[in-house]
Chains A and B, each alone.
Chain A
């Protein structure tokens, strides 16, 4: 309809200025804590990936006579049991951990959100069946599953993402499903249905963005689990092989030496914590920003 077309253009102009995402970006900028989190996170990423270039020690260079040295001017974080510089190893470990964390969380988010939203939206017997699938997958022994993965597919970092993502998406799906189920009954969804919007559109453009609050929070909670799960997987022979290591394995090794050489535990733990704190502030900020009704008292 030609008049419809003109109306559309007018509305389109108005829309461009106030899309959900642009609104969100603006709100995020105003949240100082979230911005701080973003900056810190960027620093961490920079250090992890570029830092080792600037260090005078390669991460795998051993100096066995100088093992277990405490922090000093020569070794900012001290040395480990083989005399390797801990600062460089923490940086290198960050690379692994961040890669794993990002990829695994992305995998688990995408599968989990789609699956959960579909189940919640479609409801009834489809929902029942889908949730039973989740139940079955949840109870299969993960250790065995990981061992089988290594055996039949070799040992690579990509597999780590797959293995972790394959486990984490299950709880995500359940949370999303619950959210969608409560949102489903709301007026704006009824309105969308009445307007004749396709189910796919309702799902993608209306339900999911509004369910996103707790999902983001849970995603930021997933990341530390993923990092530590990677440490468990390396125990099973999956993941990076020595002399590379992740924050998870550095922390595990450091725990055994907690009393005698505490820096081996402290520095990787601080690196992990700083990263997770900033991720969480960022996540909170994202959640607040994306929720058009979030209160700011």
Chain B
């Protein structure tokens, strides 16, 4: 298993290389550059700015310069947010997104798993319909509706919680709920679906016939097999959670990395796009690796030598 993990980690490097290369050239295909503005800027100024950021060099040279910088740990200056470099921005904003993402994940698991398990355990009863309907509501209500709704009810009218920003612990509750709700709904439904399948299998009947307690049957024996699709879903979902959600961060004024993904693309901030894509790739690959490891642990037949 260690060798497998080692090999996968090594594979990060060529994949990252491909991602960097593809993204580098892809972003320049989108029309409009970072310095286009509504009020006309003089040609001279544009030239000087381009020269300062190495944007006037031949494309391939820019690419090589960027790679060279990367190898030294330099992700370049942010083109549209020049007060800090890309690396500085990421160091400032990523921890915020990670924190928000962890809270969201906790909410999602604590709400979603029990709901799904309960529903699968007693299918087609109220114990199934109620949690699943709630889950459906979580899916049908988009986060840009749920967030403001929660804020209106709990912050504005009831005054129990703050409206926005990210400073005190109570600031973090509503964003975590808004972020986690939809993931909770997904987890609930996926868990229910696959747990139902697993529970109808022979080895479960055997376990019950043996007289094992129902809880033990469902949780220890059923869940292990049923978690596979949930884990497969959670891999990329966690990476997404940790890199932040544009909508939640925008609604609550949270200085996270999620807004950067969209804003950098809309601003054509090439270096910032590259930086965020790199962070995201590393996280995605890490979590996919984790997913594969966990799946192998859950289902020993999948283990590689």
Contacts and interface: CB of A to CB of B under 8 A. Distances in A.
A139 interface: yes
A138 B139 contact: no
A228 B246 CA distance: 14
Interface string B1-30: 000000000010001001100110011011
Nearest to A220: B189
Contacts of A62: none
B38 to A, nearest CB: 17
Given A147-B30, A147-B265, A214-B194, A136 B19 contact: yes
Contact of A255 (B144, B225, B273): B144
The size class of the interface chain A forms with chain B is: 35 or more
A280 B133 CA distance: 10
B15 A136 contact: yes
A295 B200 contact: yes
A297 B123 contact: yes
B201 A151 contact: no
A255 B261 CA distance: 23
B145 A265 contact: yes
Interface in B230-262: 231-233, 235-236, 261-262
A225 B269 CA distance: 27
B228 A178 contact: yes
Interface string B206-242: 0000000000000000000100110111011000000
A191 to B, nearest CB: 16
A144 B152 CA distance: 34
B52 interface: no
A175 B301 contact: no
B142 interface: yes
B193 A141 contact: no
B302 interface: yes
A295 B225 CA distance: 16
B152 A258 contact: yes
Contact of A141 (B27, B196, B197): B27
B124 interface: yes
Interface residues of B, number: 61
Interface stretch (A41-49, A197-205, A271-279): A271-279
Contacts of A8: none
A291 to B, nearest CB: 6
A182 B197 CA distance: 13
A132 B15 contact: yes
B89 to A, nearest CB: 16
Nearest to A280: B136
B281 A135 contact: yes
Contacts of B26: 140-141, 144-145, 148
B277 interface: yes
A2 interface: no
Interface in A200-235: 213-214, 217-218, 221, 224, 228
B271 interface: no
Contact of B27 (A144, A217, A221): A144
A139 B190 contact: no
A224 B137 CA distance: 11
B270 to A, nearest CB: 10
B139 A224 contact: yes
Interface string A64-90: 000000000000000000000000000
Nearest to A181: B302
B19 A140 contact: yes
A179 B199 CA distance: 16
B148 interface: yes
Nearest to B299: A182
A228 to B, nearest CB: 5
12 contacts: A140-B26, A148-B29, A171-B236, A182-B299, A213-B194, A255-B144, A269-B141, A277-B136, A293-B200, A294-B197, A294-B200, A297-B122
Interface of A: 128, 131-132, 135-136, 138-141, 143-145, 147-148, 151-152, 170-171, 174-175, 177-179, 181-182, 185, 213-214, 217-218, 221, 224, 228, 248, 251-252, 255, 258-259, 265, 269, 272-273, 276-277, 280, 284, 287-288, 291, 293-297
Given A136-B281, A148-B26, 7 more contacts: A141-B26, A143-B262, A174-B236, A217-B189, A217-B193, A258-B148, A277-B133
